[in-house]
Homo-oligomer: A and B are copies of this chain.
C-alpha cells in the first residue's frame, strides 16, 4: 500500500494547481497527483492544435512543473474512493492511503442523443491526446467539416480548422446567433461577421437532427431539412462533470451530477475536497447554480481547495465568469453578467459603452479598435458585468473589469480609477474605454 499526505485525483488545470497550492501552504506534506493520462493537454489550447499550434505535442502541460514543485506523480486510473478508510484504489489494484483528498476529475464532453453520433468520423472535444491526434489527421484530409455547437469552443475550432486548409467548415447552432450564451447580440453579430469573412459557414437557428452516412459519417441533416456534407463532424456542445467515482463513494452530488462543495471546497465527506469542472458552482451575484467549465475557474477553485486542506484559509465567493476568446485577430471577452443575463436575473441596470483605438494617436502601427460595454446596477451603481471586442490587450482588460466586479466598484469609482496609459499600449487617458464607459453609465445613473 502506498501512502501520501495529500492525494489529488486528476492532473489537469485544477489538480495541478491544487497540488502546487497545497505545497505552498503545507510544504512539509507529501503531495501525490494520480492521473490516468500519459500526457496532459493544455485544455484551453485544444482548438489551437488544429491551426496555430499544429500538433498535440506542442499543447502539453510539461511534467517538469511537478518536479519543480516537489509533487509526486502516479499515472493510474482511480476506480474507487474508500472515504471512511481514507484510501483510493486504482483499477490495477493499487491502494493509496491519504490524509486529505482532492477530487479534480474534470469533465467529459456531452454527447447529445443525435442518431448517428456513434459513426466513424464523429468526434467530441475529449481531453485525450491520442484521440485528438486522430481528429487532427481526419481534419487534415477532410474536405468538409461540420461543427455542432456555436459556443466559443465551436467557434475557436472552426476558426482554427479553416486556417491554411482547403476545407469547408460549417458551424450549426440552434440559437439565433453563435456565442449567444457568452455575449450579447451586438457582440455575437460582430464575432459572426469576422468568422464568416474568414470563410466559415454559419448556420444558426437550426439543429442537427441526424448524422448521416453508413459506418462513416458523410453529412448531417438539419431541422430545416437541409443536408450538409461532412467527412468529419465535431460535437462541441458542452461538457458534464466526471463524477462516477465520487458518486460510487457516496459523496453528495447536485442535481446535475456535479460534486457538492461548500465555500471552502469541502465535499460532504470528511477530508475530501473537490475543485474544477467536476464540482458544482455558484454565481457570485446570487449564489444560484451556474455552469462555467473553464480552466480559469478551475484553478481559482484549486487555489482555494489547496489552501484549505489542513486549515481554513480561503473561501469561494462564487463564480464571476470571466473569459476571453479570439475570432480571427479579434479578441472578445466577457465577465460577470451579460445584458440578457442581467435581464433574466431581474436586475434594474444601465449600460455604458465606449469605443476607440487601443493606441493614441490612433495612427500608431498595430493599433486596433476596442469596444467596451459595462453594466451597472441602478440604485447601488455597482458594476455587474462587462463585455469587450477588438484589440488583443482586451484579454487583460477584461481581468481589470473582473477585478472591479469582485471589489463591487461603482460607476463613479471606475470613472476615476487611476489607469496608466501609453501611446503604443492603450487608449488615450481622455478616452480610455473603461473610464468613459463608466462615465456614460454614471450619467445615466444620475438621470
Please name all residues of chain B whose beta carbon is closer than 8 Å to the beta carbon of A400 when the two chains form the complex. 396, 399-400, 403
A428 touching B361 by the CB < 8 A rule?
no
Please name all residues of chain B whose beta carbon is closer than 8 Å to the beta carbon of A20 when the two chains form the complex. 430
A323-360, CB under 8 A of B: which get 1 and which 0?
11110000101010000000000000000000000001
Interface hits, A253-306 → B, CB 8 Å: 284, 294-300, 303-304
Nearest CB on B from A21, distance (A): 7
In the complex, whether A173 has a CB less than 8 A from a CB of chain B is no
B52 touching A365 by the CB < 8 A rule?
yes
Return the contact of A418 from the options B53, B65, B300, B409 (Cβ within 8 A): B300
A58 touching B425 by the CB < 8 A rule?
no
In the complex, whether A429 has a CB less than 8 A from a CB of chain B is yes
Q: Given that A42-B360, A396-B393 are contacting pairs, would A419 and B322 also be in contact in the complex, using a CB cutoff of 8 Å?
A: yes
Q: How many copies, total?
A: 2
In the complex, whether A73 has a CB less than 8 A from a CB of chain B is no
Return the contact of A402 from the options B65, B303, B418, B435 (Cβ within 8 A): B418
In the complex, whether A61 has a CB less than 8 A from a CB of chain B is yes
Distance, CA A25 to CA B418, complexed state (A) = 20
Please name all residues of chain B whose beta carbon is closer than 8 Å to the beta carbon of A314 when the two chains form the complex. 412, 416
In the complex, whether A17 has a CB less than 8 A from a CB of chain B is yes
In the complex, whether A421 has a CB less than 8 A from a CB of chain B is yes
Nearest CB on B from A437, distance (A): 13
A415-444, CB under 8 A of B: which get 1 and which 0?
111111111111011101011000110110
In the complex, whether A364 has a CB less than 8 A from a CB of chain B is yes
Q: Given that A17-B430, A44-B360 are contacting pairs, would A326 and B422 also be in contact in the complex, using a CB cutoff of 8 Å?
A: yes
Q: Given that A13-B430, A322-B420, A430-B13 are contacting pairs, would A392 and B52 also be in contact in the complex, using a CB cutoff of 8 Å?
A: no
Return the contact of A421 from the options B16, B295, B429 (Cβ within 8 A): B295
Please name all residues of chain B whose beta carbon is closer than 8 Å to the beta carbon of A313 when the two chains form the complex. 412
Q: Give A297's nearest chain B residue, CB to CB.
A: B418
B396 touching A425 by the CB < 8 A rule?
yes
B418 touching A395 by the CB < 8 A rule?
no
Distance, CA A85 to CA B404, complexed state (A) = 44
Please name all residues of chain B whose beta carbon is closer than 8 Å to the beta carbon of A440 when the two chains form the complex. 24
B299 touching A429 by the CB < 8 A rule?
yes
Q: Give A329's nearest chain B residue, CB to CB.
A: B424
Distance, CA A404 to CA B417, complexed state (A) = 11
Please name all residues of chain B whose beta carbon is closer than 8 Å to the beta carbon of A225 when the two chains form the complex. none
Return the contact of A363 from the options B53, B331, B361 (Cβ within 8 A): B53
Nearest CB on B from A312, distance (A): 12
Please name all residues of chain B whose beta carbon is closer than 8 Å to the beta carbon of A295 when the two chains form the complex. 421, 428-430
Please name all residues of chain B whose beta carbon is closer than 8 Å to the beta carbon of A174 when the two chains form the complex. none
In the complex, whether A60 has a CB less than 8 A from a CB of chain B is yes
Please name all residues of chain B whose beta carbon is closer than 8 Å to the beta carbon of A430 when the two chains form the complex. 13, 16-17, 20, 61, 65, 295, 299
B323 touching A52 by the CB < 8 A rule?
no
In the complex, whether A101 has a CB less than 8 A from a CB of chain B is no
Distance, CA A378 to CA B429, complexed state (A) = 33
B393 touching A428 by the CB < 8 A rule?
no
A324 touching B425 by the CB < 8 A rule?
yes
In the complex, besides A24-B439, A24-B442, A335-B420, 11 extra interface pairs with C-beta distance below 8 angstroms are A20-B430, A42-B423, A44-B421, A44-B428, A58-B361, A59-B361, A65-B430, A323-B420, A331-B425, A396-B397, A400-B400
Q: Please list 22 pairs of residues, one from A and one from B, whose beta carbons are closer than 8 Å in the complex, sorted by A's number.
A: A21-B439, A44-B421, A48-B364, A52-B364, A58-B361, A295-B430, A297-B418, A299-B429, A300-B418, A303-B416, A303-B435, A323-B422, A324-B420, A324-B422, A324-B425, A331-B422, A395-B425, A396-B426, A399-B420, A403-B403, A403-B404, A406-B413
